[in-house]
A and B are shown apart, each in its own frame.
Chain A
Amino acid sequence: MILLLITVAVIKAENGIEMNGKYSEAVYKGKRILESLPVDYAEIRLASSTGTGISLSGENVESFTIGESVAGSVRALNNGSWGFATFNDLSMLEKYIKSAVLSASLVSPSEKTVLTRSPAVEGNYKISAVRNFMDVTPDEKFTLARDYNEILRSSAVVQTTRTGYRDVNTKYTYMNSEGSFLSYDKLYCGISLAAIAKKGNVVQPFHESVSGYGGFELVTGKETLAERVVKTAVDMLEAEPVPGGTYDVIVDPKLCGVFIHEAFGHMSEADFIHENPRMKEIMVTGREFGPRSLNVYDDGTIPVLAGYIPFDDEGLSPRKTALIKDGVLSGRLHSRETAGRMGEEPTGNGRAISVMKQPIVRMTNTYIDNGDFSGEDIFDSMDDGLYAVDVIGGQTNLEMFTFTAGYGYRIKNGRKGKMFRDVVLSGNVFSTLKNISMIGNDREMFGGLGGCGKGGQSPLPVSFGGPHMLIKNVLIGGKM
């Protein structure tokens, strides 16, 4: 209802995306200029977005906003050097094309950037939705968020809550000097649910978020999730910090996913490998990295998931890339630039958080694939150890990682016992991968409104996941 108040001239463009006059004029102009631009390579990206954001906290409405933005960028490669220009006045496209070309031509670098080239591709992509959130009234979005927030507030020991709803509809156009022309009508939405429980001086936050490409159906019916959030935050009040030491650990699908994304996925990004001589020595395809049952993939082609892309931000198609196959290192992720530099096939992983940023090597949907064991088999096999569930955060430095699980349980003779908080796992990723001893068959994937950060670009929507997994001898930090 409110969106109808936007008074812009709406026209139907050739490719089926509705755009205002300035945008379609920029598309037309850009296409024409790219045909004869005197550079080695150039691309133009344009985007126009409308988004809704709701943030509720406790009994308060922090914000409820509908906003819009337009943006464009030009990236040009000339004589091995990049020039880049960004702007939000699309009527000035020509000026910024000149600026990018000029920037690229300023210097002649000692080592030249070489790109993987691609044949021209054309395509119009559109996310299909059971119920497009652009047709859902602000009232209904608000009610949904408020109802979740009420669930989060349902416990007396919950000090405060935060419920977030976000949706964004982006019309995105990609075109380059190779003649590619791609458009994408993107629908992305999600919710985040957080409860902060407090008792005396103990404060325990817990948080869950879901997101994906699709319609309003992605965010409805999440009452059970909200109930789990509040229960976990409350339960954690009574949990004690885990005593430090070395444990056999069963990780749940979410922690498994975060582990493979953070500790291994980032190392599979070719820019990282190329920049680190030590990584080049370690990340040799064909080398054994884990048990035969270990298979790790990055796959941007899976619809709905937060890491789905119809094409990457360099106009290349995504694919399913095996990073580890049968325990052996078998691939890595590339942008056009890293593929060109390392003389390998591109994988369609050149991504940017918005058209205002340059694409860099990023993951999409990254996961450890199913193994042979049921979740039950894995728990039954454990006499004494820990079950680490969910994740609060994680950081890595080359092969060293530190993750904080949301919470955990002592496992004795296959049974869940005492609950722990502050479960911090740390170690070396390569020895940890080798210590994986059982892989479950119950893989789940997780997205969320957070996302991945790298090179000053955050948050980029990605998903990650895996099955339950038993890892031997994990170092768990604790207080002394």
Chain B
Amino acid sequence: MRNSIERVLPRGAGWYDAVYVSGRSTPLSFKNNRLHSVSESESSGFGVRVNLDGRTGFSYTNDSDNIDGAVKRSVDMCRYGDRENYSLPGDAVVSFEPYDDDINGFNLQEEINRGEKIIDDLKSSFPGINVDMGIASSTGVARLLNSAGVDVSYKESYYSVSVSCSYIMPDGTRIETWDSRSELKPVDCSFLKNILSGKIEKALHTEKISSGLYPVIFPPPAFGRLLSFVASGFNGVSVWKGISPFSDKKGEKVFSESFTMTDNPFIPGSPYSVPFDGEGVNTVKRFLVRNGVIETFITDLKYAERLKVEPTGNASRGYSSLPSPSFHGVAVEPGNISIDEIISGIDRGIIAEQFIGLGQSNTITGDFSASLDLAFLVENGKIRGRVKDCMISGNIIDLLKKDFII
């Protein structure tokens, strides 16, 4: 591959790098309580970035016979690019692979049986329920090479199960809920049906609530969605463009002392872990916020140069696009209080599980406004039932400055 790139590069070309990815996946899809389709998918692609006279061009192809064509196009596009003066890393190391050999134990028939069992169990608890489910296994190889001498590749494996169900109560009220898991290897995810059953059980009884200010509990999936608005302000791109509310606040204490948020490329068992990023920068766990103080904005090589900081190893890259900064796995450091304790400390409040319409407002500033799709009323420390037809609004950044419990 290196030869086919260098053969085409003009004399005096600066640096280049290229990614080649290939993968194979087997997704199963259950619709309306039954197996709907079994698929097999194979794909590969090649993307190449060339820097000529300090300007960068890029092109891609998934036709393995036309690598030359992509390199030529990339060279031709250089003259339109911005000036970029960073150099490529030469020390990318495959310290681990986001891969588990057990992925080869994926057994189609076994998965189908497990899926059908989950559906049967949910059906027996909630007659008339409609369940859709996706189960997929995939493996792949990602290869990166560059003019600084790097030519490394790692294997990837991925297994996922997602279940969504819709249950209509005799009075016509609809409860829709879902959950999913992603792993490096096939694992029995039958426990998902218990999580979903639990949520449906709690929603069978409905309660009324009037407008006002209430304490609200956001379970991890719901909190994660709100957190993504905050995290977007830590992306080097929005910082550099000046649209992040944190652009000029590095080193300042913006959040409450109890708030620490990290970006972690090494979450054990996570299929989203990577040894180095899309440009070959080795990855490290970063503190975005430590005890309320803003510490790191994530960057790729380009935005590290623009912001005059060290690259953080957050370049994300498919074969058909240029790298751009993105998070590996944003996590908030847990507090030391259990969810049951939080609930028991509330006189009158709400647990917000699922939203409709979140993310339509001006999320850069942290504002949110959404209808509550699935939410529960808490009274005197106990979950009373579901609350319907209400909206929630606020500003997540402001809320994380004030009193909250993790």
A: residues with CB less than 8 A from B are 2, 5-8, 22, 57-58, 60-71, 81-89, 96, 99-100, 103-104, 106-107, 109-111, 113, 138, 142, 159-160, 196, 198, 201-205, 274-278, 356, 358, 392-398, 400, 402-404, 421-422, 424, 426, 477-480
Closest 8 CB pairs of A and B: A402-B357, A393-B360, A82-B37, A404-B360, A103-B38, A84-B39, A160-B241, A67-B60
Partner of B130, one of A86, A276, A356: A276
| Complex contacts, B58 vs chain A, CB 8 Å | 63, 65
Count A-B pairs with CB separation below 8 Å.
226
| Complex contacts, A61 vs chain B, CB 8 Å | 80-82
Q: Is the CB of B80 within 8 A of A480?
A: no
Interface string of B56-81 (1 = CB under 8 A from A): 01111111111011101100110011
| Complex contacts, A159 vs chain B, CB 8 Å | 241-243
Chain B residue with minimal CB distance to A161? B241
Q: Is the CB of A86 within 8 A of B212?
A: no
A2 to B42, CA, bound (A): 29
| Complex contacts, A71 vs chain B, CB 8 Å | 43, 62
| Complex contacts, A477 vs chain B, CB 8 Å | 369, 391, 393
| Complex contacts, A196 vs chain B, CB 8 Å | 241, 243, 364
A92 to B271, CA, bound (A): 29
Q: Is the CB of B43 within 8 A of A2?
A: no
Partner of A2, one of B76, B109, B362: B76
Q: Is the CB of A83 within 8 A of B39?
A: yes
A424 to B360, CA, bound (A): 9
B344 interface contact, C-beta 8 A: no
A398 to B70, CA, bound (A): 46
| Complex contacts, A111 vs chain B, CB 8 Å | 32, 34
Q: Is the CB of A201 within 8 A of B40?
A: no
* Min CB gap B295→A, angstroms: 22
| Complex contacts, B32 vs chain A, CB 8 Å | 111, 274-275
Q: Is the CB of A103 within 8 A of B40?
A: yes
Query: Apart from A84-B38, A394-B360, what 19 extra A-B contacts exist at CB < 8 Å?
Result: A7-B66, A65-B58, A65-B322, A67-B59, A68-B60, A68-B63, A82-B36, A88-B62, A106-B112, A109-B34, A203-B362, A277-B128, A393-B359, A395-B360, A397-B356, A400-B389, A477-B391, A478-B393, A480-B393
Chain B residue with minimal CB distance to A141? B80
Chain A residue with minimal CB distance to B44? A88
In the complex, chain B residues 358-390 whose Cβ is within 8 Å of any chain A Cβ: 358-362, 364-365, 367, 369-371, 373, 389
Q: Is the CB of A106 within 8 A of B108?
A: yes
A477 to B320, CA, bound (A): 40
Please name 17 pairs of A and B residues whose Cβ atoms are closer than 8 Å in the assembled complex, sorted by A. A8-B66, A63-B58, A67-B320, A68-B66, A70-B63, A71-B62, A81-B37, A84-B39, A85-B39, A86-B43, A96-B42, A109-B35, A196-B241, A275-B166, A278-B174, A422-B361, A426-B371
B105 interface contact, C-beta 8 A: no
B254 interface contact, C-beta 8 A: no
| Complex contacts, B391 vs chain A, CB 8 Å | 402, 424, 426, 477
Q: Is the CB of B76 within 8 A of A5?
A: yes
Q: Is the CB of B61 within 8 A of A107?
A: no
| Complex contacts, B130 vs chain A, CB 8 Å | 275-277
